[in-house]
Structure 1
Amino acid sequence: MRMRQWSRDLGMGFKFAFTGGREGWGRALLTAVGVGLGVALLLLTTAIPNALQARSDREYARTDITYGSERIPRADNTLLVARADTEYRGRDVRGRQLEREGARAPLPPGVGKFPAPGEMVVSPALEELLKSRDGKLLRERLPYRITGTIGESGLIGSAELAFYTGADGLAPKVNGSAVTRIDTFQPELAPPERMDPVLLLLVLVVFVVLLMPVGVFIAAAVRFGGERRDRRLAALRLVGSDSRMTRRIAAGEALAGAMLGLVFGTGFFLIGRQVAGSVELFDISVFPSYLNPTPTLALLVAIAVPAAAVGVTLLALRGVVIEPLGVVRTARPARRRLWWRLLLPLAGLGLLFPMVGQGRANGDFNQYMVTAGVILLLVGITALLPWIVEAVVARLGSGGVAWQLAVRRLQLSSGTAARMVNGIAVAVAGAIALQMLFSGVSSDYTKDSGQDLSRAQMTVRLPREVPLAEADRQLKQTEGVRHTLALSDGWVADRRKDPENAANLTVGDCAALREVARLPSCRDGDVFTVQNDEYDTATPKLGKPGRTIYLDPSYTDAPGKEVVWTVPQSIREATKGKDPTGRPRGGILATPGALPAKAAPALTSGVYIGLDSSEPDVVEYVRNTAARLDPLADSTTMTATEQSRRYASIRTGLFVGAACVLFLIGASLLVSQLEQLRERKKLLSALVAFGTRRRTLSLSVLWQTAIPIALGLALASAVGLTLGAVLLTMTSTPVRVDWPSVLAMTGIGAGVVLVVTLFSLPPLLRLMRPEGLRTE
């Protein structure tokens, strides 16, 4: 019987939402848009695991170079693959050279036919770039004829730049790293590494912080039009419904808006899914097919959102007395109590406190306690903010007309103002905490590369077939290059095969060798020994005058050139130094004239390049020169620091998610602001009719937004700093406040509100007309 009564009352409210004329439809649509935006972001979030897995599967399906030691013999089903990756204006370009050795050689995923030498197949994004004006320098680097397009199955994202080109003569270059022989594109890979506990904590906190504002906005959206709804409910009381029935009817109205919001959210998600296929954020792109929500999580969203709409409405009406002659809310409400509002953040701190000092040495953090603790702290903002707004506005003094209008409005409906700000406050608090955590642990995942950027800013590693002298000459003549340092590297050993003693060999002219060691004197034909450290026993043994040693010795799993060389009698000692990459140069140092003629193929050459920073495209010019020397030349930009790839990917994920949440915040705030203006349409029209200036009313609306926002951001800063400090102590990291980042997060929150306020001014000016007093 009770279920029947509930269903009947909810159904009546559902019907009122769509049959209440323009006012009912207006409220339902506003609620649906607000809820729909939140639902769309929730569906997007539930699709992220699938998207990440799809990108990983695509990457695995096209894996070709595994850097393994196992050598595959030539057969009818083998394929030679050479890595020809490059970079163009900060964007990675994945490149491969292909040479099939038999009729059954495996085709890369997404490629329908092997390109011939001089031809290439490209990704759609790369084809578009090459045909554009911005791709001029890249076209010079890839002078191949485009004969096809890589299909979606061969790409990890819609904006990925990738190409396959045909090649010839790769067999002598096979080394298992830059050039390899394969018979399948799905090799056995090593099991994934266990993730660092601190990185797991970062992932957990990122997800909670990004999803919490979404839940807050959905809860606020189902309460749009609350004042008009309560007046309608008073009319229902007048015709005989009791208070419980009235609340159930109100819940039914909210349920209707939430259900319509699910429809809108699905539509927004499908639109966003298609748009995502043409957007690249922080070098991350996806195909629309990647964004398929997990069915279980999507079903959970479909159940949770309507249930939350009903629950929030019933909870909100517990403190409202709806009588036949009006709603008690229009009178001065009872003062809010503080004690229970403090329990939420205190409970959150209580859950996090047992993990303080745990660090990464004591296993993973308890995921449930971390999630619940962070949620309670952030939910505490939504509980504390209404009390703070009410307490502050009650004490605000007199001022101008605009100020008085704003303050009086806030005193009458501080709860509505706080609800509007809750989402942005939660987002800012979470962002501050995350920024503190990322800043605190960044030093653990970022290390000094040791590279000396004052000596060189790029390196070009050359295949053995490229003469070093010619490469150095062409690179020196490249536009924007100031100076070069050309060196060759190799190994010398005491035996041809599987030697017991081996040492580094560095070859260069006297000027180059002086850059990496302190030499007594030097001329072409000289040889020097440089002992790496006290434990280096190989160099003294190999560097004896007259001894026979071998360049590029062979090992069981790696054949070498095995060039015989007799150490000159004039060999001398030198003092160890470092090259521009920070690598110590020990072992044997030799000038070209001291080596046999057959030594060149046994050495790997590299050129360190100093650049003119005033030339904007100097890096691209160097890469183009290197590609002309050999398409497999590896050009690298030197950096002062190196960052963990996993840490960088988590940070990138945070930026992408934060961009989506900021969009939701702005859109939801705008919808909320428009709903508030619609509620006050007659009041604004009446004030204008009595002679109030539009400027005064506009300022009053601005103050009504600015005061709660200021209080919300202050509370968000306090909670964010507290949460950030707790998370840092959990990771055993010294607590430091990155004040510029805190101010930046707060400023972004205030900036979003300012933009929303500016967008709401045109509708406000349209509402401020005496014609708004007309009624039917």
Structure 2
Amino acid sequence: MNLPRWPRDLGLGVRFALAGGRESWVRTVLTAVGVGLGVALLLLSTALPNALAERNAHEQARMDYTFDSEPPPAADDTLLVADVDTAFGDRDVRGRLVEPEGPRAPLPPGVDAYPAEGDMVVSPALKELLASDDAKLLRERLPYRIVGTIGESGLIGSRELAYYAGASGLAAHIDGSTVSRLERFGERSPTEEESDPVLVLMNIVVIVVLLMPVAVFVAAAVRFGGERRDRRLAALRLVGADSRMARRIAAGEAMAGSLLGLAVGTGFFLIARQLAGSVEVMGISVWPSYLDPSPVLAALVAVAVPTAAVLVTLFALRGVVIEPLGVVRAARPARRRLWWRLLLPPAGLAMLSPMVGQGRAEGDFNQYLVVGGVLLLLVGVTALLPWLVERFVARLGAGGVAWQLAVRRLQLSSGSAARMVNGIAVAVAGAIALQMLFAGVDGQYTEDTPQDLGRAQMQVSLPDGTPLAPTAERFAGTEGVRKVTALWEGYFGDSSWRSGNGPDLATELTVGDCAALREVAELPSCADGDLFVLDGSDYSPDGPKLNVPGTKLYLESSPAASRAEVVWTVPAGVTRAHAVEDPTGTRRGGFLMTPAALPEDFGTAVAGQLYLSVDASVPDAVEHVRNTAAAIDPLAEPVTWSATTTSARYDSLRTGLLVGAVCVLALIGASLLVSQLEQLRERRKLLSSLVAFGTRRRTLGLSVLWQTAVPVALGLLLASVVGLTLGAVLLRMTDTPVAVDWASVLAMTGCGAAVVLLVTLLSLPPLMRLMRPDGLRTE
């Protein structure tokens, strides 16, 4: 190999690509756009680790939970902060009430000065939302005056809804969780979460599956205009270039398109980076400054894309004979060999097979084997599909004119058709495998809640001292509320809770009217003023032991509480009752009291729990409940019940997959459209000739549709087989029973087909323009 000739020939190819006339630069521009779309997504992928790290760092920096059993003493450098998070529709709103106890109180990140009582500082997104016509109910819930905005350093995303509002009197509610006294913001004792091997495996597979279609599209984009390029290379042979020189010039042209694609992709990325500040996907948003690609990974992309363009071009030309008088590809091409294509999927399965049955018991999965195995299986799709399309279309027979035109075109250039579909086939195969994996392990990260949604759909926790009857009445009168079960709760101990060791025996206290108490116990009879002690409790069996007349019981209170400790003496004749499952699904124990039996000083020492039955047919019923809770006390915590609860890390990974899938689908659609336009441009003269001979435009439109539909159907069929195989292996690796959710498989293939159909429809207007007679012009 004469190495010094390589730079010269590659440079000549670059000159042909950039200065070879209208045809050359149009082809180069199409290649650059196709490559640029892939490069933009690759750069986005390299920026994601930094974005996630920045979001986590901002979250840790503003952490305001202490969970201290004894808060620090009040001083001029302490702050009282209360968690008053809420939600509006399906969007979370982070809320904090703040009360500085001195001029040196620590400021949260992004806040320059504390708002006075009745004022608040808000995130830009919340300010925008509150100014909209749709936020009337939220404005009622947040009756504060906006006096400023939270800076970027205090938010984890550009679209996050958050606020800090001034308050007073928070010291009486300190509990270390809802209300805390802080000396500084930030994580107190960062702990390393124990890694879950299955989640690590899923994370690796998600990354590979999302990036593989991007690589396929970039490889396909550098081959745009292949037929015209080869005819031009034949002309170069005629003026003295040998076959190797012609291939190096072709590689130089591809390299020029890929280098321009790097520039275009960088531009796309910078535009998308700037737009990221105004976009929220699946509840996730970032600031543009978060999306800084890793320098090492960005450099890898910059080197890998041109290198891949050269190698792909040389590989594509290995079976093409370029002679001075033409290209031996217009004749019947040699059949594609099958044997080496069949080796790839078994090789991938062989890499994954040692980890079958490993599950969580044997630690983390081998990342190199996982990446290699998944890659080989997905690459097997791209290798098998051209052979499958070639064999299938060779057997297609007669039909209508549109069908015959499509079949003949596919028989002459099955490789081009397969390349256009390869990316969608890889994406669908990966999506099916991931869907099987997520569906299979979902039960391990999703648990059924014990809450009885037939009896209540919302729960409102009220702070100590909230009055009983008036509060229940206000919720009963709230729009959309059908029933209110109001219970006030506390804990009794046989000794003071403020002593060093606490009580030896403890049990619950539940207060409510007779109707509410019947939700938690079988009562023989009930009237206001009655007392009961429960048996049959799930977790609080000490009630009967403490039901000894004359025994002094101490109501739970924290050492930091300002009020005096409340003591109750057990009277004689307390009725026994049997516990039943309450709306939360548990059998509670201890003592039951009706309001008339509650000592007067207990009213400020018990906390309310309201269980609400809500009419889902009433618009914004949940929002009305939240507004009532906020109006009664800003520290009230309304919670909407659900039948299941999901692991936060698993849910985060699933959300990341959905966000990535949206980006990849957008790339697939855009790249397919560019590829389709490039193929139509190459066939402009042929299409114009057919129209000139009387072929109807409708017929040509249908032929284009058939040319797309046949390889797409074959690609989706192959993708389903490979996806199901990969999904089954991944499930066996996680030691999970193999099951196929056919509805999800059909949904994945349907999404792939829908993207291709949409691209085909969008290409019809350009197709009609290309059928004009002026398409017969030539230079």
What's the TM-score, normalizing by structure 2? 0.98
Distance 1:442 1:125, change over 3 A: same
The match for 1:743 among 735, 746, 770 is: 746
2:507 is matched with: 503
What secondary structure sits across from 1:282 in the alignment?
A: coil
Question: Which residues of structure 1 form unaligned runs of 5+?
Answer: none
Amino acid at match of 1:684: L
Distance 1:394 1:245, change over 3 A: same
Distance 1:758 1:554, change over 3 A: closer
User: Following TM superposition, by how much is the alpha carbon of 1:578 offset from its aligned partner in structure 2, in angstroms?
Assistant: 2.0
Contact 2:14-2:252 at 8 Å conserved across structures: yes
**More displaced, 613-622 or 651-660?**
613-622
In the aligned structure 2, how far is the partner of 1:47 from the partner of 1:615? Answer: 44
User: Following TM superposition, by how much is the alpha carbon of 1:141 offset from its aligned partner in structure 2, in angstroms?
Assistant: 0.5
1:54 is matched with: 54
Contact 1:37-1:664 at 8 Å conserved across structures: yes
2:547 is matched with: 543
Contact 2:540-2:589 at 8 Å conserved across structures: no
User: Following TM superposition, by how much is the alpha carbon of 1:546 offset from its aligned partner in structure 2, in angstroms?
Assistant: 2.8
In the aligned structure 2, how far is the partner of 1:553 from the partner of 1:124? Answer: 40
Does 2:405 correspond to 1:405?
Answer: yes
In the aligned structure 1, how far is the partner of 2:221 from the partner of 2:656? Answer: 27
What secondary structure sits across from 1:487 in the alignment?
A: strand
What secondary structure sits across from 1:55 in the alignment?
A: helix
User: Following TM superposition, by how much is the alpha carbon of 1:539 offset from its aligned partner in structure 2, in angstroms?
Assistant: 2.0
1:602 is matched with: 605
In the aligned structure 2, how far is the partner of 1:66 from the partner of 1:671? Answer: 55
1:695 is matched with: 698
The match for 2:517 among 492, 513, 518 is: 513
In the aligned structure 2, how far is the partner of 1:554 from the partner of 1:538? Answer: 21
Distance 1:187 1:356, change over 3 A: closer
In the aligned structure 2, how far is the partner of 1:654 from the partner of 1:470? Answer: 47
2:344 is matched with: 344
2:755 is matched with: 752
User: Following TM superposition, by how much is the alpha carbon of 1:525 offset from its aligned partner in structure 2, in angstroms?
Assistant: 2.2
Structure 1 residues 69-218: aligned runs within 5 Å: 69-218=69-218
Does 2:760 correspond to 1:724?
Answer: no
What secondary structure sits across from 2:157 in the alignment?
A: coil
User: Following TM superposition, by how much is the alpha carbon of 1:583 offset from its aligned partner in structure 2, in angstroms?
Assistant: 2.8
**More displaced, 473-482 or 62-71?**
62-71
Structure 1 residues 523-602: aligned runs within 5 Å: 523-532=527-536, 538-552=542-556, 562-602=565-605
What secondary structure sits across from 1:530 in the alignment?
A: strand
Contact 2:554-2:565 at 8 Å conserved across structures: yes
User: Following TM superposition, by how much is the alpha carbon of 1:531 offset from its aligned partner in structure 2, in angstroms?
Assistant: 2.9
Contact 1:554-1:560 at 8 Å conserved across structures: no
| RMSD of aligned residue pairs (Cα, Å) | 1.3
User: Following TM superposition, by how much is the alpha carbon of 1:259 offset from its aligned partner in structure 2, in angstroms?
Assistant: 0.1
In the aligned structure 1, how far is the partner of 2:157 from the partner of 2:392? Answer: 50
User: Following TM superposition, by how much is the alpha carbon of 1:538 offset from its aligned partner in structure 2, in angstroms?
Assistant: 2.3
The match for 1:664 among 660, 667, 670 is: 667
Amino acid at match of 1:579: D
2:617 is matched with: 614
User: Following TM superposition, by how much is the alpha carbon of 1:457 offset from its aligned partner in structure 2, in angstroms?
Assistant: 0.8
In the aligned structure 1, how far is the partner of 2:558 from the partner of 2:389? Answer: 77
Structure 1 residues 389-400: aligned runs within 5 Å: 389-400=389-400
The number of equivalent residue pairs is 775
The match for 1:642 among 645, 654, 661 is: 645
Distance 1:558 1:192, change over 3 A: farther
User: Following TM superposition, by how much is the alpha carbon of 1:260 offset from its aligned partner in structure 2, in angstroms?
Assistant: 0.1
Contact 2:466-2:607 at 8 Å conserved across structures: no
Question: Which residues of structure 2 form unaligned runs of 5+?
Answer: none
What secondary structure sits across from 1:92 in the alignment?
A: strand
Regions of 4+ moved over 4 Å:
532-537, 557-561
Contact 1:528-1:574 at 8 Å conserved across structures: yes
Structure 1 residues 258-277: aligned runs within 5 Å: 258-277=258-277
Contact 1:553-1:561 at 8 Å conserved across structures: no
Structure 1 residues 467-486: aligned runs within 5 Å: 467-486=467-486
In the aligned structure 2, how far is the partner of 1:269 from the partner of 1:93? Answer: 30
Structure 1 residues 10-21: aligned runs within 5 Å: 10-21=10-21
User: Following TM superposition, by how much is the alpha carbon of 1:245 offset from its aligned partner in structure 2, in angstroms?
Assistant: 0.8
In the aligned structure 2, how far is the partner of 1:578 from the partner of 1:740? Answer: 37
What secondary structure sits across from 1:96 in the alignment?
A: strand
User: Following TM superposition, by how much is the alpha carbon of 1:68 offset from its aligned partner in structure 2, in angstroms?
Assistant: 3.2
1:278 is matched with: 278
Contact 1:552-1:561 at 8 Å conserved across structures: no
Which string of whole-angstrom CA distances, capped at 9 and with x for unpartnered residues, describes residues 342-362 of structure 1?
Answer: 111110000011111111111
Contact 2:43-2:301 at 8 Å conserved across structures: yes
1:679 is matched with: 682
Contact 1:35-1:221 at 8 Å conserved across structures: yes
Amino acid at match of 1:209: V
Contact 1:85-1:95 at 8 Å conserved across structures: yes
User: Following TM superposition, by how much is the alpha carbon of 1:769 offset from its aligned partner in structure 2, in angstroms?
Assistant: 1.6
Does 2:444 correspond to 1:441?
Answer: no
What secondary structure sits across from 2:4 in the alignment?
A: helix
Contact 2:172-2:561 at 8 Å conserved across structures: no
Amino acid at match of 1:552: E
In the aligned structure 2, how far is the partner of 1:495 from the partner of 1:200? Answer: 48
| Aligned residues with identical type, % of pairs | 69
Distance 1:237 1:677, change over 3 A: same
In the aligned structure 1, how far is the partner of 2:9 from the partner of 2:555? Answer: 90
Contact 2:386-2:414 at 8 Å conserved across structures: yes
1:231 is matched with: 231
Distance 1:113 1:388, change over 3 A: same
Distance 1:54 1:341, change over 3 A: same
What secondary structure sits across from 2:87 in the alignment?
A: strand
In the aligned structure 2, how far is the partner of 1:320 from the partner of 1:353? Answer: 38
Which string of whole-angstrom CA distances, capped at 9 and with x for unpartnered residues, describes residues 269-298 of structure 1?
Answer: 000011111011111111101100000000
In the aligned structure 2, how far is the partner of 1:65 from the partner of 1:375? Answer: 43
User: Following TM superposition, by how much is the alpha carbon of 1:570 offset from its aligned partner in structure 2, in angstroms?
Assistant: 1.6
User: Following TM superposition, by how much is the alpha carbon of 1:430 offset from its aligned partner in structure 2, in angstroms?
Assistant: 0.3
Contact 1:528-1:589 at 8 Å conserved across structures: yes
User: Following TM superposition, by how much is the alpha carbon of 1:158 offset from its aligned partner in structure 2, in angstroms?
Assistant: 0.7
Which string of whole-angstrom CA distances, capped at 9 and with x for unpartnered residues, describes residues 373-393 of structure 1?
Answer: 001000000000000000000
What secondary structure sits across from 2:591 in the alignment?
A: strand
**More displaced, 766-775 or 641-650?**
766-775
In the aligned structure 2, how far is the partner of 1:535 from the partner of 1:604? Answer: 20
In the aligned structure 2, how far is the partner of 1:339 from the partner of 1:415? Answer: 18
Amino acid at match of 2:747: A
What secondary structure sits across from 2:278 in the alignment?
A: coil
In the aligned structure 1, how far is the partner of 2:631 from the partner of 2:296? Answer: 53
User: Following TM superposition, by how much is the alpha carbon of 1:593 offset from its aligned partner in structure 2, in angstroms?
Assistant: 2.2
User: Following TM superposition, by how much is the alpha carbon of 1:558 offset from its aligned partner in structure 2, in angstroms?
Assistant: 8.0
Amino acid at match of 2:364: D
What secondary structure sits across from 1:624 in the alignment?
A: helix
User: Following TM superposition, by how much is the alpha carbon of 1:137 offset from its aligned partner in structure 2, in angstroms?
Assistant: 0.5
Contact 1:388-1:711 at 8 Å conserved across structures: yes
Contact 1:198-1:360 at 8 Å conserved across structures: yes
Contact 2:88-2:623 at 8 Å conserved across structures: yes
User: Following TM superposition, by how much is the alpha carbon of 1:554 offset from its aligned partner in structure 2, in angstroms?
Assistant: 5.3
